[in-house]
Structure 1
Amino acid sequence: MKLYYAETLAPRKACAVAGYLGLPIDYVFVDLRRGEHTQPAYLAINPNGKVPTLVDGERKLWEADAIICHLAQRADSPLWPHEPAQQIDVVRWMSWNSQHLYRHAGSLYFEHLIKKWVGLGAPDDAKVAESQRFFRQHTAVLDQHLKGRKWLLGNALSVADFSVGVTLPYAQSSAMPLDEFPEVRRWHDQLNEFDAWRKPFPEHAQQAEQAAAHA
């Protein structure tokens, strides 16, 4: 298997799950600054020009949530639950995240981190305020749900936890008011106990060259 990634939000969840499962994967870094995601060779495997993409034999998968479900199934891991009702719950939380929490937490991530990274200037105060308002609204739903539950589906860790939590490692640097939600904070602290969650990205060649240059 080959996993094409960049060090951004959606690939983070794919790399974290792959690392957690310990699957034999070749990681291929896609340099977004150089536009490698827009080149014909990459568009041939992902016509959206986005990351991540997984190539597993003849199968080409894009969309991070689909990829992490595939990886869990491939490993026969309980991260993809066997019970149909729990599988539906996984889909429910992934859908909720993409429409609500990820959308607004991702906006804060963009305003505070990505804009600076690509030279687009300072955060837009109005957009930050709006995204924080929606972040509070949707995180309150998650906080209430987590009361009395260790993980999203109950006592068992699943791919839904990796999906829904993916923006939270950037809470402090992106001005997400995470500390207002003790259950969500507790839940994310549990995710932080996993090495694959804290350090999901492999060291790619460019990083190794930079480290060697400064050694």
Structure 2
Amino acid sequence: MKLYYAETLAPRKACAVAGYLGLPIEYVFVDLGKGDGEQKSPDYLAINPNGTVPSLVDGDRKLWEADAIICHLAQRAGSGLWPRDAQQQIDVVRWLSWNNQHLYRHGNALYFEHLIKRWVGMGEPDPSKVEEAQGFFRKHASVLDQHLTGRKWLLGDDLSVADFAVGVTLPYAKSAAIPLDEFPEVRRWHDQLNAFDSWRNPFPARPAQTAAHG
């Protein structure tokens, strides 16, 4: 298997899950800042016509979208990160969908304002956009905080790919002004994820570190 990645949010969850599972994967770094971006090259577009990262090549199968990739990796490993129970599988899909529409959406906006804009030379964060994104983040984080009360993980006692997906913006809480500390259950849950080395250090080592880090 080959996992094409950059050191940004969506690939972070794919790399974290791959590392957690210990799968034999060849990591291929895609330099988003090289020329027009390696993700726009014909060779890469043949793998992922969207020109985005991450992408996974597994034999003859070419898979894109981080959430699909982490589910595939868990299934491929026979891991409980992809539940065997059908109702729990539906719960995973629910949290993946919720995250993309809500928590990730606004956490990503803060990540963009504070980290990506500086990295690509777009200037300082826009205070009005930061305030708006923080407001929406708080709204959705309160839903997550309430859900996690009395639960170890999103699905209860068992870790799943949903935890890796929903938590992906939180390692950047301080550097991206994400108000994580206002939500004690979310913070507790993220502290559990931080116990995993693959969560803290998801990306393979490279000679030159050129991506945005928090």
Shift of 1:205: 4.3
Q: Distance in 2 between matches of 1:184 and 1:31?
A: 32
Shift of 1:206: 3.3
1:70 aligns with 2:89: no
- Corresponding residue to 1:95 among 94, 97, 103: 97
TM-score normalised per structure 2: 0.96
Q: Distance in 2 between matches of 1:14 and 1:137?
A: 26
TM-score normalised per structure 1: 0.96
Q: Distance in 1 between matches of 2:54 and 2:207?
A: 18
2:10 aligns to what? 10
Q: Distance in 1 between matches of 2:78 and 2:149?
A: 29
Q: Distance in 2 between matches of 1:177 and 1:63?
A: 27
How large is the Cα RMSD of the aligned pairs? 0.9
1:113 aligns to what? 115
Q: Distance in 2 between matches of 1:207 and 1:118?
A: 15
SS of 1:206's partner is coil
Q: Distance in 2 between matches of 1:148 and 1:14?
A: 28
Shift of 1:204: 2.5
2:192 aligns to what? 190
Kindly tell me the number of residue pairs found equivalent between the two proteins: 208
1:25 aligns to what? 25
Amino acid at match of 2:20: Y
Structure 1 ranges of 4+ moved more than 4 A = none
Q: Distance in 1 between matches of 2:31 and 2:66?
A: 18
Amino acid at match of 1:171: A
Shift of 1:203: 1.1
Amino acid at match of 1:68: I
Gaps of 5+ in 1: 209-215
SS of 1:102's partner is helix
Shift of 1:207: 4.2
